[in-house]
């Protein structure tokens, strides 16, 4: 179970977060029952998440202003596999991220000029990512076109906005066996996995996502994983290989 802990000036913010997420709030000095495994807390204006047994290491936050992420933003070339897969060079500009997660892919693409609309259905992840986005905006980063994030599943979004189409639709669902490798091997990503679980319905979304793409659907996979849907259902048109991931591109036939 998850809760919010807070102290001092951050107490009001912590209480508000707990109320939005319908989870218990623990003010400083209140005993935390053993069933609470994860705790959100605010420190120096940023939202952190930790696990009380520290099985996953130190608490972490989403930080789009970190040196590591800044380095990715600054150094990614036109050959970056996500950028290429998304078709920016081909003139694609509108982008639906069906799986915002911690938002690093969306922020990267927005910083390169995509107009990003994103969906995140897990309310904990949503709060975590929105907190980072607010800090990014306050810090002067990405003031021109920040991603617009919808709290809910992409299917709900499409139901609410049935006429919307995007040049590129992107989907990066949790992959069940990704435990020991890639970014998910990081301790913080293991907390994320414990919080979100597996996106077991990912395959079923394929036709819906494809129907919303004007130019292409891009699906991120671990490099050694099969495509999301069998090749006999729909063949991947182009594959872009990253370090430990692959971007499968399905082009939309406009004829």
- Of 114, 127, 162, 112, the C-alpha closest to 23 is 127
Smallest separation (angstroms) from ligand SAM to the CB of 138: 20
Smallest separation (angstroms) from ligand SAM to the CB of 87: 17
Task: Compute how many other C-beta atoms are within 10 angstroms of the C-beta atom of residue 5.
Answer: 23
Task: Compute how many other C-beta atoms are within 10 angstroms of the C-beta atom of residue 138.
Answer: 11
Nearer to ligand SAM, 12 or 201 (CB): 201
Nearer to ligand SAM, 51 or 188 (CB): 188
Q: Rule CB under 6 A: say whether 117 interacts with ligand SAM.
A: no
The Cα 45–Cα 25 span in angstroms is 18
Smallest separation (angstroms) from ligand SAM to the CB of 109: 10
**Cβ atoms of residues 146 and 136 within 8 Å:** yes
Smallest separation (angstroms) from ligand SAM to the CB of 86: 12
Nearer to ligand SAM, 26 or 100 (CB): 100
Smallest separation (angstroms) from ligand SAM to the CB of 250: 17
Smallest separation (angstroms) from ligand SAM to the CB of 11: 28
Query: In this chain, which of 40, 92, 95, 105 binds ligand SAM, going by CB under 6 A?
Result: 105
Nearer to ligand SAM, 46 or 196 (CB): 196
Q: Rule CB under 6 A: say whether 188 interacts with ligand SAM.
A: no
- Which residue of the chain is nearest ligand SAM when measured via CB? 101
Smallest separation (angstroms) from ligand SAM to the CB of 24: 22
Instruction: Please list every residue from 147 through 186 that binds ligand SAM, using CB under 6 A.
Output: 153-154, 172-174
Nearer to ligand SAM, 125 or 191 (CB): 125
Query: In this chain, which of 2, 36, 76, 199 binds ligand SAM, going by CB under 6 A?
Result: 199
Query: In this chain, which of 49, 119, 133, 217 binds ligand SAM, going by CB under 6 A?
Result: 119
Residues forming contacts to ligand SAM in the complex (CB under 6 A) are 98-99, 101-105, 119-122, 125, 153-154, 172-174, 196, 199, 205
């Amino acid at each position: 179970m998850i809760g919010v802990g807070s102290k001092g000036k951050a107490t009001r913010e912590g209480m508000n977060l707990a109320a939005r997420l319908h989870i218990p709030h623990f003010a400083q000095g209140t005993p935390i029952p053993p069933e609470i495994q994860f705790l959100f807390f605010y420190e120096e204006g940023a939202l952190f998440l930790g696990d009380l047994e520290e099985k996953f290491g130190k608490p972490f936050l989403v930080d789009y202003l970190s040196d590591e992420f800044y380095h990715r933003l600054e150094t990614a070339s036109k050959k970056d596999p996500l950028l290429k897969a998304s078709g920016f060079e081909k003139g694609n500009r509108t982008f639906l991220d069906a799986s915002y997660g911690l938002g690093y892919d969306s922020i990267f693409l927005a910083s390169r000029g995509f107009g990003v609309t994103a969906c995140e259905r897990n309310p904990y992840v949503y709060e975590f990512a929105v907190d980072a986005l607010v800090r990014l905006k306050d810090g002067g980063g990405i003031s021109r076109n920040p991603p617009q994030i919808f709290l809910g599943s992409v299917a709900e979004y499409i139901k609410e906005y049935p006429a919307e189409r995007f040049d590129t639709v992107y989907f990066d669902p949790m992959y069940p066996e990704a435990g020991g490798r890639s970014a998910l091997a990081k301790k913080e990503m293991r907390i994320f996995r414990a919080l979100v679980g597996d996106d077991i319905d990912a395959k079923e979304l394929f036709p819906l996502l494809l129907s919303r793409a004007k130019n292409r659907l891009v699906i991120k996979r671990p490099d050694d994983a099969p495509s999301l849907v069998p090749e006999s259902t729909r063949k991947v048109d182009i594959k872009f290989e990253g370090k430990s991931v692959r971007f499968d591109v399905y082009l939309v036939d406009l004829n």
